[in-house]
Structure 1
Amino acid sequence: MREPASARGERGNGTVTATALVAVALILASAVLLWTAATHASMRAAAAADLAALAAADTARGLRAGDPCEIARSVSAANEAELEHCAVEDGGTSVRVTVSVPVTFVALEVKLHAATARARAGAPPLDQR
């Protein structure tokens, strides 16, 4: 018995369909991994900025010896972040810092972008006292 004409044209499409499904699954998995890496880098940057600002503010207020921005730089480096900006404000009562953490796609060992975070520590601004 012969196959219908419509079934003869469908031979071999299972391989193409399976390949397409695998490609779509890999693209979706890569997108999820990239999103996870970006979220992780953002959280690390926020934590590093908070810690650097707190340490620098303590130094600016005289609670520990040293230069506030150098302390912020060392705390950032200890948290695998890079200090981009540091400013002592309000006559040495507060410090603002900006740090960045690279977004790394571990599967390919590629640095794609940098997540940045800002933090301020010290006395509240004058308009909020």
Structure 2
Amino acid sequence: MNKPILFNPYIIALITLLPMTIVYFFIQRRKKIKLKTEKESYRKFKKEEVDMNNLMNSINKSSQLHRELSRKYHPDRFLDQEKKTFAEELMKEINGNKTDYNKLLDLKEKANHKLTNKT
């Protein structure tokens, strides 16, 4: 008597191994896609240029400039009420941008123009 096709050992092995191989290939594919996106993001980061001069100024000179501006433009140094309110707003901006050297330079120019002109 012939055995039914389902009880053939080759068919049983095929039925059990097929789902495992499909899962294995999907996992490998997902790993390749993840690796590919990581490489692309690294390449994008590598291509972006960093202004080293600005970075070094922000690291080294921003604290000195912040100290200088906070002393020079402190609101208690002004008697005129209009200048005093401007100095208060300026101090909020100065304290909010302690580490941004370029922004502090812009604030210094703005303050020099607004507070030191005798108009």
Using structure 2 for the length normalisation, give the TM-score: 0.38
Larger relative contact order, structure 1 or 2 (CA cutoff 8 Å, min sep 6): 1
- Which structure features the higher share of helix residues? 2
Pair member with larger Rg:
2
Higher strand share: 1
